Structure 1
Amino acid sequence: MQDLLKEQFSGFLNTPRLPLENFNFSYDFFRLTKNPELDSADIPSPPTMVLGKRMETFFQYYVQNFTNEMVIAHNEQIIDDKLTVGEIDFLLKNESSSLVSHVELVYKFYLYDPSLGSREEDRWIGPNRRDSLVKKLTRLKTRQFPLLFHPATRPLLDSLGITAEEISQKICFKASLFLPFLERNNIPSGISEDAVKGFYLGLNDFTEKMFPGADFFSPRKPDWPVSPEKNNTWYSFEEIKMQVEKMHKKQQSPLLWMKTPENEHFRFFVVWW
């Protein structure tokens, strides 16, 4: 179990930040600057299989063990007149400067659909088309960051002896990006090459002829950040296609890992839409 947690944690650390400055998003970025040695690390087991919550556990572990920041609040629900109005991801206090920061953590997988919108940021969507970069950025700007200044947040800040005005706000936005199969070498403007982790295609284009002799595996969502080179279990094309078809009936787009006869490894989504 600890080995798998280390691979998930390493995958989290190695996921690049999304360059939000190219999408008119002005909040400062909280940078994870160290690449820690994990041989002796004791990674905590996240309490849930939900991918975003697991990444919060890893972020908290990183902050507490590899930075000068202290976590003084985490996942604090803000309640106004018995109604939950939002949640503060992290409040951090620098041990040297005593400066406090409010950090929102985002960990996403986005696919590029060139047919959407007129702006580059309009074209990044979730694998099942229920999520998008624009929706997330809008929510951050209009709800998550303004929550710090909501009157219902004041009791939390009072208990910590701080005011909203003295807190800096930062974003830690990590994302793995996937391009259409036929355009996988055309990186959209504003995106770094290392952020592109693979491609996507539809079921009709996912054929054995397209990937002759390859083996496949469909990881659980908590393992999506893991490098496919670490995998030891592989399935034939016929076996994996049956798994994909079952997921498509639920309108779910699975992430696949692929190992070629030349021992090259790739990641890609087979989308249901």
Structure 2
Amino acid sequence: MESTSKHIQLQYQGYLNTPLLWQKQRIYGLAQLELPGLLVHRFNKTISENLLLGKRVEQFVIDELQQHENIKILLENFQIQNEKITIGEIDCLLQQDDIPIHLEIIYKFYLFDANLGNSEIDHWTGPNRKDTLVQKLNKLRDKQLPVLYNEHAKPFLDRLRIHSDDVLQRVLFKAQLFAPYRTNVNFDLVNSQCLKGFYIHYSETQQFSLCKFHIPVKVDWLLEVHTKVDWISYDQFIKNIAPILNEKKAPLCWIKFPNGNIQKFFVVWWTSST
């Protein structure tokens, strides 16, 4: 149990260390909830071992918010329903300095593809090519945040004595970003501090044949890289990732170079033209 507790703490610390995807300015009209950084903080809640990464992050966010004396959580993971039909969900409704805020929580992994779209925001795609940053921003702006103004949300706001017109809307959007190997990316809108590693096509992995590798489980994608893991050889690594890639899934991996440097990277099955 102690080792599990320590491991969750490492995941939590990885979450805390992940920067906001953008700061200060708005993107697609969306403003971030910018919080003062916490001193080293202990996560003491219990989390189910099979809790998925996204839900795990939501628990980490709620815990972080609760450490700020000027913040009070009013609702979390609250479903808005019309009889038995779910209209939408509010990730978090809080008060900061007595100002009500509707907060949507997002933690993503995006890869830079210069051939995708025409703008900096267009170029970021999910590892499996099933989602993009643009799609997520549109969903937040057009579907997720507007649920606050749905008629079926009003009774719950009334009970809290809150009027929707008085509620600020914010996102807490964190991300880990990855660029093609040995490629420089210009950052004008998104936060360059989110760049956590690189990605490479499966066919190009031979150049790393002298390296060691680690393939973390999905919830450990949050972790900062460190040396105290089970490292495997290149041959074993290729054998382990082949079935993942065959399912058209791109694994996040750690690589330890012969000089001792460690980095995160994705191995992808697609090319930038697909």
TM-score (normalised: structure 1): 0.92
Q: After superposition, give the CA deviation of every residue in 1:60-93 in whole Å (9 maximum; x if it has no partner).
A: 1111124421111011111124321110000012
Structure 2 partner of 1:269: 266
Q: Distance in 1 between matches of 2:71 and 2:202?
A: 46
Structure 2 partner of 1:251: 248
Q: Is the 8 A contact 1:13 1:32 kept in 2?
A: no
For residue 22 of structure 1, report the CA deviation from its aligned partner. 6.6
Q: Distance in 2 between matches of 1:269 and 1:103?
A: 30
1:50 aligns with 2:52: yes
Q: What letter matches 1:157 in structure 2?
A: L
Question: Are residues 272 and 148 of structure 1, via their aligned partners in 2, closer, same or farther at CA, if it must alter by over 3 Å?
Answer: same
Question: Are residues 22 and 167 of structure 1, via their aligned partners in 2, closer, same or farther at CA, if it must alter by over 3 Å?
Answer: closer
Q: What letter matches 2:145 in structure 1?
A: F
Structure 2 partner of 1:11: 14
For residue 49 of structure 1, report the CA deviation from its aligned partner. 2.7
Structure 1 partner of 2:36: 33
Q: After superposition, give the CA deviation of every residue in 1:34-53 in whole Å (9 maximum; x if it has no partner).
A: 23323x54243257431111
Percentage identity across aligned positions? 33
Q: Is the 8 A contact 2:22 2:32 kept in 1?
A: no
Q: After superposition, give the CA deviation of every residue in 1:123-146 in whole Å (9 maximum; x if it has no partner).
A: 111000011101100001111111
Q: Distance in 2 between matches of 1:134 and 1:51?
A: 21
1:222 aligns with 2:219: yes
Q: Is the 8 A contact 1:48 1:54 kept in 2?
A: no
Q: What letter matches 2:226 in structure 1?
A: E
Q: Is the 8 A contact 2:90 2:148 kept in 1?
A: yes
TM-score (normalised: structure 2): 0.91
Q: Is the 8 A contact 2:26 2:32 kept in 1?
A: no
| Aligned ranges 1:32-181 → 2 under 5 Å | 32-38=35-41, 41-46=43-48, 48-94=50-96, 97-181=97-181
For residue 18 of structure 1, report the CA deviation from its aligned partner. 0.9
Question: Are residues 20 and 250 of structure 1, via their aligned partners in 2, closer, same or farther at CA, if it must alter by over 3 Å?
Answer: farther
Question: Are residues 140 and 269 of structure 1, via their aligned partners in 2, closer, same or farther at CA, if it must alter by over 3 Å?
Answer: same
Q: Is the 8 A contact 1:46 1:53 kept in 2?
A: no
3-state SS of paired residue (2:162)? coil
Larger mean CA deviation between 197-206 and 27-36 belongs to 27-36
Q: What letter matches 2:208 in structure 1?
A: F
For residue 25 of structure 1, report the CA deviation from its aligned partner. 2.3
Q: Is the 8 A contact 2:43 2:63 kept in 1?
A: no
Question: Are residues 64 and 213 of structure 1, via their aligned partners in 2, closer, same or farther at CA, if it must alter by over 3 Å?
Answer: same
For residue 16 of structure 1, report the CA deviation from its aligned partner. 1.0
Question: Are residues 143 and 41 of structure 1, via their aligned partners in 2, closer, same or farther at CA, if it must alter by over 3 Å?
Answer: closer
Q: What do you get for the CA RMSD once the two structures are aligned?
A: 1.8
Q: Distance in 1 between matches of 2:7 and 2:152?
A: 40
